[in-house]
Chains A and B, each alone.
Chain A
Amino acid sequence: MFYREAGDFKTSYKEDNQTFPIKFDRYRYYAVMFLAFAVVPFIVNDYWVNAIFLPFLIYSIAAIGLNILTGYCGQVSLGTGGFMAVGAYACYKLMTVFPEVSIIIHVLLAGGVTAFVCILFGLPSLRIKGFYLAVATLAAQFFLVWLFNRVPWFYNYSASGQINSPERTVLDIAVTGPNTDAWAKYMFCLVFLTFCALVARNLTRGSVGRKWMAIRDMDIAAEIIGVNPLKAKISAFGVSGFFVGIAGALLFAVYLGAAEAGDSFGITKSFLVLFMIIIGGLGSIFGSFAGAAFLVLLPVLLKNVLVGTLGWPTDLAAHFEFIIVGGLIITFLILEPHGLAQLWRVAKEKLRLWPFPH
């Protein structure tokens, strides 16, 4: 009976509308923040940061971004990989053209550039919906990758066609480049994730979020009550692009260190992030985290169990992963479209009443 709301009365609407209305949730949130900021950085090693924490943090940002657009505003996008590439290349150009400016500014600006590009490609959403919009964003995906491979200006005419992340520091601590400590990379991405999650949470609980959801649930009724569909969709594409761009910038600059548009930001990235929000839960910030954690951890787990313990060949294990992910997607789409987040919510609802369900 630790998890309860009895005796936890709200005396103002402000309290009722906070991010975690139940005390226990709030405490758990503080505990997680404490662990993430004050414990993990001191105990992580290279393997944990590179195999698990960095991809989790960065994909969480991307998943939040896509969830805003698809889960909250109902606009399907298969262009996430391409938009992450925009963030990565924008960050690279900014880092090399303005080396004296802080990397923090560069990452934020990369998000801004991506927001702009995302809005441009989102304009057709005013005329087309569903499947046709998906195809249009797919076209954006291929166009953007082609553009970054084709125009040497984007990769500063390097012979390999790759972009490489130069060393940049925050408070004299390297956060990008080959000599970066694992904990520094971790902290840098964690700060961005925290910022993005808070912004996303604030937007989705206020009037902008309600406009997005209104458009998602019934665009005609939304327009009747006064939602301007143009503005609502454009703002969803913009905010989504901002987060996805930040994720792309971090993936390139901090995690990969070097990238090439086709390899690092191909269509598989688009699907990966889409699967994350489907499994995690459409229209849920928590679901974005859950989905990212799940799809980052799954291959690591499978590899350890199948290859490490059972001695399967690596390629067989990799194929097995496809089968599992595919099966899960189908299961979730059919049985629980709101994903892990909904399972969690149901479990909590039961817990709230336990042990006296009546």
Chain B
Amino acid sequence: MNDMNHDSYVTADGRTIGGVVMEMKNITLRFGGVVAIQDISFDIRQGEIRAIIGPNGAGKSSMLNVISGFYNPQEGDVFYHGKKRKPMRPYQVARQGIARTFQNIALFEGMSVLDNIMTGRLHQMKAGLFSQALWAGRANREEVENREAVEKIIDFLEIQSIRKTPVGRLPYGLKKRVELARALAAEPSILLLDEPMAGMNVEEKEDMSRFILDVNDEFGTTIALIEHDMGVVMDLSDRVVVMDYGKKIGDGTPDDVRNNQAVIDAYLGVAHD
């Protein structure tokens, strides 16, 4: 890890970006014959908004799945806080402070909005089975404390009016917001967002962009997000990784990437050989 970059810098809008917290090194992921990710390396710095873009099927979701422990790559390593990570189950990754949302919303449809968000705080709740069975001492206290934390997130994302609604009854845009709330409830140090704005109208996209910026700004959360809308990506992110057919074809600031010929080709659909 001698090439790790510890220099921090301040962005134009006054946020401090720290050193590298997560580094992907030569990751290759195959599904049978399909190579979803081919020898990709990139890093994520403390406090930045890191976008991953690319056409459909480029391997972006697969990359998030590698980070969250859902898939273990055949080759390459993930370094977290400078340490090489062993292959892990998703719940172990979650415990290290990495939370995420899904491209296809993965909420618990049978539970209320409040209960869904409360599940995000499972790590903060340590009362044992017996204490909970009798609702004594610790269980009771924990429930109230964590409810307070969750209510702050509910206020933050402006979903007070639906807290008791079963998630199954919510429209798509609100579900996306609840899923973000659940991820935030874990107070993650890294937040992974898989197409948080897919399928939203302009107004919903603006709201979501604002929430993402606020999360990053107010809580200092490092964010890695996948997004299709180039405009949104350019506005939000500090640095961008561009993927195409499982390969990395660009990496840099939004401006760098926008002017990169390979990226322009991929997006304009220049025929591959």
Tell me the smallest distance from the CB of A9 to a CB of chain B, in Å: 15
Contact B111 A202 (CB under 8 A): no
Complex contact B120–A224 (CB within 8 A): no
Cα(A207)–Cα(B118), bound, Å: 8
Indicate whether B41 reaches chain A with its CB closer than 8 angstroms: no
Over the window 100-142 of chain B, the binary record of Cβ atoms lying under 8 Å from chain A Cβ atoms (1 yes, 0 no) is 1010001111110001001111110101010011110001101
Stretch at the interface among B21-29, B52-60, B87-95, B234-242: B87-95
The size bracket of the interface on B is 35 or more
Of the candidates B70, B133, B142, the one whose C-beta lies within 8 Å of that of A224 is B70
Q: How far does the Cβ of A351 sit from chain B's closest Cβ, in whole Å?
A: 17
Assembly CA distance A217 to B122 (angstroms): 16
Q: Give CA–CA (A340, B119) in the complex, Å.
A: 27
> Please, which residues of chain A bring their CB within 8 A of the CB of B115?
210, 213
In the assembled complex, A218 has its CB within 8 A of some CB on chain B: yes
Give CA–CA (A203, B144) in the complex, Å. Answer: 15
On whether the beta carbons of A220 and B139 are closer than 8 Å, the reply is no
Is A36 engaged at the interface, CB distance under 8 Å to the other chain? no
Q: Quick one: which of A202, A216, A229 contacts B133, CB cutoff 8 A?
A: A202
Q: Does A258 contact B (CB under 8 A)?
A: no
Contacts of B106 in A (CB 8 A): 218, 220-221, 224
CB <8 Å contact, A210 and B122: yes
Please give, as numbers and ranges, the residues of chain B lying within 8 Å of A239 by CB-CB distance.
Answer: 129
Q: A206-B143, A210-B118 are in contact. Are A224 and B132 (CB under 8 A)?
A: no
Contacts of A210 in B (CB 8 A): 111, 115, 118-119, 122
| CB proximity of B69 to chain A, nearest CB, Å | 8
Contact pattern, A 222-240, Cβ under 8 Å of B = 1, otherwise 0? 1111111100000100010
Report the minimal beta-carbon distance from B102 to chain A, rounded to whole angstroms: 7
A62: Cβ under 8 A from any B Cβ: no
Q: Does A42 belong to the interface (CB within 8 Å)? A: no
Contact across chains for B134 and A13 when beta carbons are under 8 A apart: no
- Contact check, A203 vs B132: say whether CB atoms are below 8 A apart: yes
- B108's partner among A12, A207, A218 (CB-CB below 8 A) is A218
Residue B186 at the chain A interface, CB threshold 8 Å: yes
Encoded as 1 (CB less than 8 Å from any A CB) or 0, chain B from 231 to 262 comes to: 00000000000000000000000000000000
A-B contact pairs, 24 of them (CB 8 A): A13-B143, A13-B148, A202-B132, A202-B133, A206-B132, A206-B135, A207-B118, A207-B142, A210-B111, A214-B108, A214-B119, A216-B108, A217-B107, A222-B108, A222-B119, A223-B91, A224-B70, A225-B99, A225-B186, A226-B122, A226-B123, A227-B119, A239-B129, A283-B110
7 closest A-B pairs by beta carbon, nearest first, are A226-B94, A221-B106, A217-B108, A13-B147, A207-B125, A202-B135, A206-B132
